């Protein structure tokens, strides 16, 4: 995205108008950042996601400054990549932390803002929560049964073509239906399902990381750890530790200690 600006500034961007517009979109965290990856505009949904009460608590800060633990590192690393390369990030499936302490799945898009000399001077983007509601009539029985079987078993051999065959649908039609219902590609859906189940097991059980990797259809412990860190910015072990710490602190607050 290029800005027709005479100098290396964001002065020509209608920041206030964009900010006010996205204040009315409750499932999308919107932001504009400067050349250092610091927020210069955010919407109310982004504040709610991080448990902030005013926009001034975010302005001038980077994601790693307002998001506890390693969950702030992934977006900051993404920002650095976009700022340095000028290459956008489109519909990146990732897990983010929503206060008061629960993971949410999002599709994140970040576009470089460029001045008249083609220099990257900032970022504009959003993270959209995956919470789509579709009329039951849109979903065929075979499609629903295929997803039910996949989510129950999470077989390691599952792929987009495997799912389409199980749903008795051509690949292109299956992909179109998946995008309509979930706003995801089949590959994104498979990753979301595996990692979503894994995150639940990490939080709700004491199973080992290796056991969880096997249950969720990853070929080995290393493949699971790589995929989990790519999506969340943290390792499975650290994710579990951060959750336990957050629960402990919440209990202390509730008890008034």
Q: Which domains does the chain have, with CATH numbers?
A: 15-129 (3.30.450.20), 136-182+184-243 (1.10.10.60)
Phi, psi of 125, deg, nearest 5: -170, -175
Q: Give tens-digit pLDDT for 71-93.
A: 788 889 899 999 999 989 988 87
Q: Tell me the torsion sign for CA atoms 157, 223, 99, 83.
A: negative
Q: Give tens-digit pLDDT for 152-178.
A: 999 999 999 999 999 999 999 999 989
pTM summary value: 0.66
State the pLDDT at residue 204: 83
For residues 172 and 180, what is the distance between their CA atoms, to the nearest angstrom? 12
The vertex-128 CA angle with 125 and 131, nearest 5°, equals 175
Number of neighbouring beta carbons within 10 Å of residue 141: 9
Q: Tell me the torsion sign for CA atoms 226, 232, 233, 235.
A: negative
State the pLDDT at residue 254: 63
State the pLDDT at residue 104: 74
State the pLDDT at residue 136: 56
Name the nearest CA neighbour of 75 among 62, 85, 86: 62
């Amino acid at each position: 995205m290029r800005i027709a600006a005479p100098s290396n500034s964001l002065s020509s961007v209608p920041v206030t108008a964009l900010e006010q517009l996205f204040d009315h979109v409750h499932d999308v965290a919107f932001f504009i950042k400067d050349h250092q990856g610091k927020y210069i505009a955010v919407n109310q949904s982004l504040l709610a996601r991080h448990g902030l009460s005013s926009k001034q608590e975010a302005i001038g800060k980077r994601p790693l400054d307002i998001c506890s633990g390693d969950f702030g590192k992934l977006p900051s690393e993404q920002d650095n990549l976009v700022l340095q390369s000028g290459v956008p990030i489109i519909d990146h499936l990732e897990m983010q932390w929503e206060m008061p302490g629960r993971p949410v799945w999002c599709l994140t898009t970040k576009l470089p803002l460029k001045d008249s000399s083609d220099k990257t001077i900032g970022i504009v983007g959003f993270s959209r929560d995956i919470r789509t509601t579709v009329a039951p009539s849109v979903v065929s029985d075979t499609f629903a049964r295929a997803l039910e079987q996949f989510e129950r078993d999470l077989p390691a051999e599952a792929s987009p073509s495997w799912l389409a065959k199980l749903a008795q649908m051509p690949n292109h039609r299956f992909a179109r239906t998946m995008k309509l219902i979930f706003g995801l590609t089949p590959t994104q859906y498979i990753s979301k399902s595996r990692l979503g189940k894994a995150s639940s097991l990490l939080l709700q059980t004491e199973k080992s990381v290796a056991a969880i990797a096997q249950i969720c259809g990853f070929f080995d412990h290393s493949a699971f750890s790589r995929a989990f860190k790519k999506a969340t910015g943290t390792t499975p072990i650290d994710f579990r530790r951060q959750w336990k710490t957050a629960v402990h602190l919440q209990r202390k607050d509730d008890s008034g200690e």
